Structure 1
Amino acid sequence: MELKDKSIVVTGASSGMGKAIVELFVKEGAHVIAVARRKERLEALTESLKNDAGQVQVYAGDVSRREDCESMIDAAVSAYGRLDILVNNAGVMGDMAPIAEASDEKFRQVMDVNVYGPMAAMRKAVQVFLKQGQGGNIINVSSVGASHQAAGPIYGASKAALNAMGWPNMDGYTRLGLC
């Protein structure tokens, strides 16, 4: 991988795939802003990576909040002078309720984290990429749940929406190498 000195934001970094992504990227020499709600887990991750080639900084935030999505991107630019990669990994599952029993509260929670958060982060990242004039990369972590309802209709709908936002030619930016 060619990640040495790349400036990267990874959401959902305190556990699971997000944590593994951060570990790999830092071992490869990247400078990572690790984002999650659980600050204590992020601090433990940072401690475990202190002797690796790259750097990791903690950003305790909630991707369902626009302010946090914008601030995490700003944190990367402030710390490392630019943004090269955004990894939208944070996500939550629905309660697998059939649609007739699905609650408005669960719908809002899943859509806020799985759809709104990535959209707000992408919007800010693309603005940074355009300003930098060098492009960048956005990786949206999705699921087969987008096409198979094994995880429930709300989760499936959220991942299908995430996939739709990431298809090529999104507002023309992909053609320019800016996404």
Structure 2
Amino acid sequence: MKLKDKSIVVTGASSGMGKAIVELFVKEGANVIAVARRKERLEALAESLKDEAGQVQVFAGDVSRRQDCEGMIDAAVAAWGRLDILVNNAGVMDDMAPIAEASDEKFRQVMDVSVYGPMAAMRKAVQVFLEQGQGGNIVNVSSVGASHQAAGPIYGASKAALNAVGRNPAYMYKGEKIRVNVIAPGGINTEIA
């Protein structure tokens, strides 16, 4: 088992890629804090994985709120004594409105979830990694929409910003064995679309 006893936080865990990530990690022996706003879906996910090698604990939270980003990291440390991996997967789409019709409200919503949330979570995770002194891993789930003209302008901007937010700590903390990777999948048939 590749992830035996690793302590991992996964956001956006109630559906789509986040749910699939949690399922795979738990089957590989990881202990996962599954984070999303929809607690009932998280509880159903945890129940479905109760006989697997790893464990799932539910954390109902909103990544656009700093206290939830910090709380989910604290939950992993409280449950398993440390944090090994953070997966920033939570995200929301814009409404595909062209720039002339894009709203400030949609901009704030998408940026809060897709940029601020990962940044706040990374800030807390890096603090924990530094305290532990053993490095750590962060995976940010971006999108090809960061560089594709057909993506909505707000969604594309948020994913481009997420790419940039990942580059800085990858550089700044490489000497501390903290790795940051950004993956950019193409279209995947999930609820986000």
Would you call these one fold, judging by a TM-score over 0.5? yes
1:107 & 1:53 partners in 2: Cα distance? 40
The DSSP-based 3-state class of the residue aligned with 1:175 is helix
In structure 1, the residue matched to 2:63 is 63
Alignment of 1:1-150 (within 5 A): 2-150=2-150
Structure 1: stretches of 5+ with no match in the other structure? none
Deviates more, 1:109-118 or 1:147-156: 147-156
Q: In the TM superposition, what is the alpha-carbon distance from 1:167 to its structure 2 partner?
A: 1.7
Equivalent residues of 1:94, 1:152 under 8 A apart: yes
How far the C-alpha of 1:15 sits from its partner, in A, is: 0.2
Shift, 1:86, TM fit:
0.1
Whole-angstrom CA distance in 2 between matches of 1:73 and 1:105: 28
Structure 2 runs not aligned, ≥5 long: 180-193
Kept in 2, the 8 Å contact 1:23–1:49? The answer is yes
**Do 2:94 and 2:154's aligned partners in 1 also have CA atoms closer than 8 Å?**
yes
Superposed CA RMSD in Å reads: 1.1
Q: Percent identity?
A: 85
Give the TM-score, by structure 1 length: 0.97
Q: Counterparts of 2:81 and 2:149 in 1: how far apart (Å)?
A: 42
Single out whichever of 133-142 and 159-168 deviates more from structure 2.
159-168
d(CA) in 2 for partners of 1:168 and 1:102?
29
Q: Across the two proteins, how many residue pairs are aligned to each other? A: 179
- Distance of 2:11 and 2:128 partners within structure 1: 17
Amino acid at match of 2:82: R
- 1:148: how far off? 0.5
Structure 1 residue 171, shift from structure 2 partner? 5.7
**Does the 8 Å CA contact 1:94/1:151 hold for their aligned counterparts?**
no
Structure-2 separation of matches of 1:169 and 1:69: 17
* Contact kept in structure 1, 2:133 and 2:176, CA below 8 Å: no
Partner of 2:190: none
Which amino acid letter does the alignment assign opposite residue 166 of structure 1?
A: G
The TM-score, its normalising length taken from structure 2, stands at 0.90
Contact 1:13–1:90, Cα closer than 8 Å, also in 2: yes
**How far does the alpha carbon of each residue in 1:135-171 deviate from its partner, in whole angstroms, 9 at most, with x for none?**
0000000000000132210000000000011126546
The letter for the 2-side match of 1:77 is: V
What is the identity, as a one-letter code, of the residue corresponding to 2:24?
A: L
- Distance, in Å, in 2 between the alignment partners of 1:149 and 1:92 is 18
> Which portions of structure 1, spanning 4 or more consecutive aligned residues, are displaced by more than 6 angstroms?
none
Pairwise CA distance, 1:3: 0.5
Alpha-carbon contact 2:170-2:178 (below 8 Å) kept? no
Asked whether the equivalents of residues 87 and 139 of structure 2 are also in contact (C-alpha less than 8 Å), the reply is yes
Question: Which segment drifts farther, 123-132 or 169-178?
Answer: 169-178
